[in-house]
Amino acid sequence: MVTEANVTERDGAAWLLLAIVGVFTRLQLVWVDAGYRGVEFGAWVKHFIGIHLQVVARNPGVKGFQRLPRRWVVERTFAWLNNARRLSKDYEFHVQSSEAMIYAAMIRIMVRRLAAASSP
């Protein structure tokens, strides 16, 4: 889900999670970054959506670089998306166009994987 820049992370997450209620019935855990921290938001998600949020945040006592668990999944996905020319910069005027370009880029990645897996 792509939202306008003036939509907070929590509001965007709430819209997304409400949209997937009943669709991904096996989904039980979602890793989120520190932008989703907060007891109220976590409790709301658990109560209304039935999903547990696990915040992956930096340890405040550590100085310098710190490797965060599961963060590599997000960074790797962003790197894949940046390989798409239309997603390397923010060219799109409408949010729906940006979302469509992300779908197209991810479909291309999945088709290439399927083609590689099926070739002898």
Buried/exposed 62-75: b ≥16 CB within 10 Å, e otherwise:
eeeeeeeeeeeeee
What are the CA-CA distances from residue 17 to residues 3, 10, 36 (Å)? 14, 10, 13
Structure tokens at 76: 């790797």
Q: Which residues pair with 16 in a beta bridge?
A: none
Q: Give the per-residue pLDDT at 101.
A: 86
Q: Give residue-wise pLDDT tens across range 1-60.
A: 778 888 888 888 899 889 888 898 898 998 888 888 888 888 999 998 889 988 888 888
Query: What does pTM read for this prediction?
Result: 0.66
Q: What average pLDDT is seen over the chain?
A: 85
Band of residue 62 on the pLDDT scale cut at 50, 70, 90 = confident
Strand partners, 55: 32
